Amino acid sequence: MADPILHGGNLREAAHRYAIPLDDWLDLSTGINPRGYPVPPVPPDAWRRLPEDDDGLADAAARYYGAPLALPVAGSQAAIRALPFLLKRGVAGVAPLAYGEYAPAFVRAGHSIQALDTASGELPATLDHVIIGNPNNPTADCLSRETLMRWHAQLASRGGMLIVDEAFADADPDASLAAETARGGLVVLRSVGKFFGLAGIRAGFVLAAPAVTDALRDALGAWTVGGPARHATMAAFADRAWQQDTRERLRRDGARLAELIARHGFDVRATPLFTWTPTPRAPSLQHELATRGIWTRLFDRPGMTTSLRIGLPGSEGDWARLERALAEIGA
């Protein structure tokens, strides 16, 4: 049996393991914005009626992302699982330390996996498809538009596909490939879970040419995104002032977190929504933080760089708690 796919956010498991009540934890194990979008009250019809594809959600998403076409799905996770079945079987390139769902999704669809060295900037000729986070979760690595478009051209010439997961891209939308997704062989995945802090509504979007979105719509079936989630997402997409204020705050908070971790002697790579620290001390650091009711995300499996991902605190009290814990551990 394959190892289970691990994710952050498993706070109940941590509460049980450390015998600390659930409400006493500071959960920094995900990269979700801790000060998420304030969703307006849900209209009663959103609960009572079946979702309708012509309610404007797809168009609102295309405008927000700057894409020619957007397909709503139940979080980008749904697309990650379904897309490999729509591709010709071949070799898929996945970074050794990346979102844990990528490689298993391709394996289930009959593809083989080859480790992708993103640092080289070169694409092996053996690859048929590539799925990559940009920024990557958890390493915070970002590839340039020029590199990704060069890779796309190479894969498309082989009849392959480049899938770019931009779940953490909202804080820097200029880096997105959304505007290029009319091209064959290119798919961009977006989510409202991270930047908007709305992970619980399970809403995401596939930005791609009609041939891909039509096939994916057929594979996933009707009503993939429920009425309340559609209401919340359209409100969030329309609130440009909140988006701008949030981008500025996340950039400040991301830099603040990186500085805090670095000040305690750790190497840090960061996005505006999380920091990543490669260190052999990661297991003990996670444990020491957990004994103080602070939950983080450990990466410590064979083939991985032993490391810790830490998300943003949501209040000044949370910032003080994290800083105090790091000082105690360091002492």
Cα 296 to Cα 162: distance, rounded to the nearest angstrom: 31
**Structural domains of the chain sorted by starting position, each given as residue range(s) with its CATH number in brackets:** 11-30+241-330 (3.90.1150.10), 44-238 (3.40.640.10)
Q: Model pTM?
A: 0.94
CA 292 to chain centroid? 27
Helix (H) or strand (E) segment spanning residue 237: helix 227-238
Structure tokens belonging to residue 177: 């490939």
Between the CA of residue 30 and those of 18, 276, 297, what are the distances in Å? 19, 11, 7
Cα 238 to Cα 209: distance, rounded to the nearest angstrom: 24
Per-residue pLDDT of the chain (331 residues; tens, 9 = 90+): 456 666 666 899 999 999 999 999 999 999 999 999 999 999 999 999 999 999 999 999 999 999 999 999 999 999 999 999 999 999 999 999 998 899 999 999 999 999 999 988 899 999 999 999 999 999 999 999 999 999 999 999 999 999 999 999 999 988 899 999 999 999 999 999 999 999 999 999 999 999 999 999 999 999 999 999 999 999 999 999 999 999 999 999 999 999 999 999 999 999 999 999 999 999 999 999 999 999 999 999 887 889 999 999 999 999 999 999 999 998 6
Provide φ and ψ at 18, rounded to 5°: -100, 5
Instruction: Tell me whether residue 256 is exposed, middle or buried, using C-beta atoms within 10 angstroms of its C-beta: 0 to 12, 13 to 18, 19 or more.
Output: middle
Structure tokens belonging to residue 311: 């998300």
Q: Quick check: 329 and 285 in contact, CB under 8 A?
A: yes
Identify residue 282 by its one-letter amino acid code. Answer: A
140: left (phi over 0), alpha (psi -120 to 50) or beta: left
Helix (H, G, I), strand (E, B) or coil at 326: helix
From the list 183, 306, 198, the residue with the least C-alpha distance to 246 is 198
Cα 229 to Cα 216: distance, rounded to the nearest angstrom: 20
Q: Quick check: 293 and 20 in contact, CB under 8 A?
A: yes
Helix (H) or strand (E) segment spanning residue 129: strand 129-133
Three-class SS of 206-232? EECCHHHHHHHHHHHCCCCCCHHHHHH
- Using alpha carbons only, what angle is made at residue 9 by residues 302 and 97, rounded to the nearest 5 degrees? 30
Structure tokens belonging to residue 126: 């053996």
